[in-house]
């Protein structure tokens, strides 16, 4: 699961970087399916970052990686 999450982040990363931000993977809990990330740069201070995280990143992760239940910002 860790490798699939890392590969999916590489797919998502260019869109975030185009807006001046980025994403850093902190932890993948394979038992619970929770992926912990930190949004940095413009994404870290953006008022819409919660929506980006849930409606964008989490949706893509759940679609591409079996077992992912949630993506949370830390």
Give long-range contacts, CB 8 A cutoff, 24+ apart: 35-38. 35/5, 35/61, 35/68, 35/70, 35/71, 35/72, 36/71, 36/72, 36/73, 36/74, 37/9, 37/71, 37/72, 37/73, 37/74, 38/73, 38/74
For the chain, the structural domain boundaries read: 2-73
Q: What is the mean pLDDT of the chain?
A: 95
Residue 63: pLDDT band (50, 70, 90) is: very high
Q: What does the pLDDT read at residue 44?
A: 87
pLDDT tops 90 at residue 46: no
Q: For residue 45, what pLDDT is reported? A: 87
| CATH H superfamily, domain 2-73 | Fe-S cluster assembly (FSCA) (3.30.300.130)
């Amino acid at each position: 699961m860790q490798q699939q999450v890392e590969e999916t982040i590489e797919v998502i990363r260019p869109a975030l970087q185009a807006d001046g931000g980025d994403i850093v993977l902190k932890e993948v809990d394979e038992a619970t399916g929770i992926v912990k990330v930190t949004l940095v740069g413009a994404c870290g201070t953006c008022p819409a970052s919660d929506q980006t995280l849930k409606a964008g990143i989490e949706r893509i992760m759940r679609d591409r990686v079996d077992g992912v239940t949630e993506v949370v910002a830390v």
